[in-house]
Structure formats: structure tokens, C-alpha cells
Amino acid sequence: MPTDHTADVYADLSLTLSEAGIGRPVLVLHGGGGRATVAGLAEHLSRTSHTITPVHPGWDGTHRPAWLTGIDDLALAYLHYLHDRRLDDVLLIGSSLGGWTAAEMAARDTAGIITGLVLIDAVGVHVESEPITDFFALDARGVAEHSWHDPDRYYLDPADGPADELARRQANMATMRSLAGDPYMHDPKLLRRLGRVHLPALLLWGESDRIVSPAYGAAYAGAFGNGRLELVPKAGHLPQIEQPHATFDLIDDHLRQTSARSINTE
């Protein structure tokens, strides 16, 4: 069973984390939809690994200090957390906004703590020919149409939900706008920095994603020193939810192939 706890990273910043399983450490970073969007993935990985799944500061009512205003701040906080825990051989997984955070972490990991990287339909870079859809301009129906291969299955009318859930989502979106709204959903410097990242990077992309297109994913993968793109059929922006078996199989394979401990014993 997962255990929830907090960890102090700085005097004014505590991370809220869920941990489960034993084995290689796997840090799983959620996107704008919150930790629930990666809960199934974390549960799957906890059967063979030690999964750590944080809530980003400011999401779901957690505290975000005033100075934490960008994804670079978030990336450094997580790197410092991994360093404080003295973790190594970490597989880093990020979905959407969490993928951007993971990419920023990989670009800054001079200690070599991270040995494998998985980005799932990540934002974070600027690709001239493939603009990122303006998520903040979409209504609930538009979000569903852009995010899912089968939008009718996953669309939820906000008017049908409880008021506290609507308030939680609105607060999460306000936090996301603060961290990633200007420049919109990218770091202008990140794309060129990724060529220095030579750890194995797997980029998983839903073929039907209309937030960030598969062509955007291909450009992202090509920017890494050792990146590859795998498309997930019949999936949109969250393939770990729409096509969990196909997504989990690809991640499991990457987990095995990138473990420094297993490579060093072969």
C-alpha cells in the first residue's frame, strides 16, 4: 500500500509525496490534471520498483511559496529532493507538464542521479511548425476534444460535478498558469540544451493528441542526445489512461533497459 508523507526541501517548501514498492527508484511527475492522472501508472510500477509520486506545490491545495514561479524552480526542487534522499539510478517519468519538469531536471542533473527518462506527451519546448494548443482558451468540451482519442467517453460537464471538485480544478489551473503561462508552456532555451542529455530518453505520444501533436513529439525526441519516439495508437494526451497496457509495456521495457545496476552486471 502507498504511504503519504511530506519532505522538507527548503525552509519554506515541503513536498507532498506518495511512496510504494521496493527496487529501483522511479519518480513519477503528473501534469496539469494532478496526481490522479498518473496514479494508475504509479500503482503498476510499484509492483517492481520503488515509486515516488509527488503533488506539485500549489496543486490540490498544497502550499506553493511565492518565489516558485516557474518550471525551472520545480525541477530544481525535485533534483534537490533526490539528492537529499541520496537516491541514484532513478528512472524519471513525467506526463505533460510533468514531462517538461522532467526534461528540465535531466538538463540540470550534473550528478548523474537520473539514468532513464520517460516523457509522456510532454510540453516544454518550442517547435516553430507545431504550436502548443492554448489550453487556457478551451472550454471543457474543447479540452476533451483536444486531449482524448475518444472524447465522448471522458468528457465531464463541469456543471454535473460537485462544487468543491470544480474549485479544486480551477485552483490547479491558476497554479499552472502562474508556472507555465508566460512564455506559454515552454522554456525558450530548453530545446537546444537537450542535445547535452545523453541518457536514454523515451518519448511516448498518443497518436490522437491535439494538445501537442506527434510531430511535436518527434521534434522533442530528436533534440535529445539519445532520444526515441514511440506512438501509442488510439490514445490522446494521456495514453497512460486511455491505453494503459500498451503504455505500461513500453515503460516496463525502458525500465529494464536503463537500469544502471542491471547494465553494470551484464
- Confidence band (pLDDT; 50, 70, 90) for 266? very low
Q: What percent of the chain has pLDDT over 90?
A: 92
Q: What percent of the chain has pLDDT over 70?
A: 97
Please state, as a whole number, how many other Cβ atoms lie within 10 Å of the Cβ of residue 73: 17
Which residue from 148, 23, 173, 159 is spatially nearest to 97, judged by alpha carbons?
Answer: 173
Domain formed by 3-264, architecture: 3-Layer(aba) Sandwich (3.40)
- In the predicted structure, residue 263 carries a pLDDT above the cut 70: no
DSSP state of 66: T
Going by DSSP bridges, is the β-strand pair 201-206/50-55 parallel, antiparallel, or unpaired?
unpaired
Place of cell 525502458: 254
| pLDDT tens per residue, range 31-74 | 999 999 999 999 999 999 999 999 999 999 999 999 999 999 99
- Confidence band (pLDDT; 50, 70, 90) for 261? low
| pLDDT tens per residue, range 99-156 | 999 999 999 999 999 999 999 999 999 999 999 999 999 999 999 999 999 999 999 8
Rounded (10°) CA dihedral 177, 179, 180, 181:
40
pLDDT of residue 2: 84
Report the C-alpha gap between 173 and 199 in whole angstroms: 32
Domain coordinates of the chain in residue numbers? 3-264
Query: 35 in the Ramachandran plot: left (φ > 0), alpha (ψ -120 to 50) or beta?
Result: alpha
pLDDT of residue 91: 98
- Confidence band (pLDDT; 50, 70, 90) for 161? confident
Whether pTM > 0.85 for this model: the answer is yes
Q: Locate 71 and state its grid cell.
A: 518550471
Report the C-alpha gap between 260 and 234 in whole angstroms: 33
| pLDDT tens per residue, range 78-103 | 999 999 999 999 999 999 999 999 99
Q: Where are the alpha helices (DSSP H) in 28-129?
A: 39-45, 71-84, 97-108
pLDDT of residue 155: 92
Judge contact between 40 and 107, C-beta under 8 A: no
pLDDT of residue 1: 78
Cis bond upstream, residue 54 (ω within 30): no
- What is the average pLDDT value for the chain, to the nearest integer? 95
Question: Mean pLDDT across the stretch 152-163?
Answer: 88
Beta-bridge mates of residue 229:
203
- In the predicted structure, residue 262 carries a pLDDT above the cut 60: no
pLDDT of residue 264: 42
pLDDT of residue 157: 86
Listed in sequence order, the residues at least 6 apart from 246 whose beta carbon sits closer than 8 Å to its beta carbon are 232, 233, 235, 239
- Confidence band (pLDDT; 50, 70, 90) for 165? confident
Question: Mean pLDDT across the stretch 163-182?
Answer: 93
pLDDT of residue 117: 98
pLDDT of residue 69: 97
Please state, as a whole number, how many other Cβ atoms lie within 10 Å of the Cβ of residue 97: 25
Question: In which element (H, E) is residue 223 found?
Answer: helix 214-223
Report the C-alpha gap between 227 and 147 in whole angstroms: 24
Question: In which element (H, E) is residue 36 found?
Answer: none
Report the C-alpha gap between 43 and 87 in whole angstroms: 20
